Amino acid sequence: MAKVPAAAVAAGGLIGGYGVARWTGKRQLGGAVLAVAGATAAQQWRRQAGGQAAGALTVAYVAGFAGSHPLAKKVGAWPAVFGVAGAVALASWAVADRRG
């Protein structure tokens, strides 16, 4: 079975977490999606690039989530979520995924 890149898991967690929260009206459910995807990506980051890189990418993931809120006030919710998801995915690819 093909492995899903950590970049896709992280971006999917940010996008999916927001989508679930928005469409269900249950922020906790969106938070659960965000947390599960973040933990899954962090495990992959640790295996692929080591603990320090996993820690830094986890900080980027959480910062992307937090940063999407004020950014949404300027550009809109979905553009903010897609923007931070793309930034986290790019960081994940550069630090961990391209190493294989």
Q: Choose among 56, 37, 39, 36: nearest CA to 96.
A: 56
Quick: pLDDT tens for 18-74: 999 999 999 999 999 999 999 999 999 999 999 999 999 999 999 999 999 999 999
pLDDT at 100: 62
Per 3-state DSSP, the chain is made up of helix, strand and coil in percentages (nearest 5) of 90, 0, 10
pLDDT band at 3 (very low <50, low <70, confident <90, very high): confident
Q: How many CA atoms lie within 13 A of 41 on its CB side?
A: 34
Whether 1 has a pLDDT exceeding 70, the answer reads no
Quick check: pTM over 0.85?
A: yes
Q: Choose among 74, 34, 29, 78: nearest CA to 58.
A: 34
